[in-house]
Structure 1
């Protein structure tokens, strides 16, 4: 009898016709997990997903097992484990605990491999069956119609009583895992403290010897005190020195009624700056002269020429006029000094 392309072999449930395309293991962590499921399926004789869900006893529906092998979405751990258990443990006879640890690691790698690892909706009820395959009374086989050709879903009598156990529960953590991590941390801290304590003891033991072996520096010689010259305070000293008669020296003869300029040269012999000083006439004579004349500012050590305009008397005779240095108020200065004077003869 010729079978249709979508029919299955009796007993094995193997699908004839085009086989599903395997996922590329290099396209992502979920595809890599699906590729490994395909390899395991081939090692176990390549049973159909319907056989795995019914005859081999996987607690997951045929569609869930097929979706896990497509590699488009991440299956739940329960679906993955049922896929692996019926092949690796039940069919190939491998150790269940070892297989569970190995495939749990594969599944965790796919679950945390990137944003493409979308979890399968674990709350999906894979136990739904087409109402057309069920009798109205619910009795298996009584009024059920056979599945259409090409449908890999198991018949109601072969469906697993628990459907796809897509539980959202994760494997409980190992009871001793937290304690072991805390124990390792405590051991590391204890080791660090022990090393630090040993280092402190070693440093305390070595330092005295290092200090004793260090070359001692020669004692610094005391620096003799530096004696700075003491500058005595400057005492103001006002003094003058007559240097010369610049014009009309003593005994010069002038004509009656004539005017002339008498000039003296005086030097500031003290340490006081001459400012606001005058040459003030001290007596009256037939010769006429101003009461006082101003002296320009003179620094200590400098000389100054002082000129007075004089008019000779109208009649012959001797003309002698005295002048004294004063301040702006007429107070005489340089009391120890004799006045300067003009001494001419009118003839």
Structure 2
């Protein structure tokens, strides 16, 4: 179902245009994750994002794939897996399950690290207040010096009272009296603040236990055509059985699911086909009976996975299809 690469990649690589800006892996966990995507893309021949979304069969748009490699925001796991699947599995031939586990670990690490780095700092109110005694002591020392000044001024006043001549020569100014009063008042306030009991320390807030993260997800992996691969020639008017192999690549068991036909063609096929229950990690072969058209031509029929009510599942995935030539 996935077409092979060819000269189109070389043509795409040689096209002139604006060169995308590669993310700096040292600028953060999301940029490092995007840098790994770029390395995988280069290992797979550096196809364009347009080719990945169309010719290579990625179930994600060209803009979504380009944004994933930009490094400004972490892409969803579904977009990440489509980026990796068409390159690592389809182009480089790596084991699908091993590639999924490896890149899922990279993705979860980037998500958790980015969340930790952007977490807000603890509330300032949770830190105990610094006791003011040191500042009060320094203020008390300063005011003690003021007190010495007050004593000297008082002594001068006594001498002047005893000596009228000196009193006439050295009458204290109003500013000196104001300084004496201010110094005494400030010293009294500092001593009171030092001796007064401080506020009781606040009780630490109870730590809330974070809710466990829900890591369950639904995913599928197309493993191949068991019968009648794309381009198979069938005789007109004959019946044949098309079989696909699909793996449950998520963590949710498949129950009461179907493949539902999306279009009509001269070849006849049932509207929907039941899928037996499939546990996570297991593969399933799905068979559908098809009758070839009565006249030569091409038959391409699409199916999507749905639930029993017909609601579409795995909406980010492209349909699987039958593609035969009637002769």
Q: TM-score per shorter chain, which class? A: 0.3 to 0.5
Q: Which has the larger radius of gyration?
A: 1
Larger RCO (alpha carbons 8 Å, 6+ apart) = 2
Structure number with higher helix proportion: 2
Provide TM-score, normalisation by structure 2. Answer: 0.35
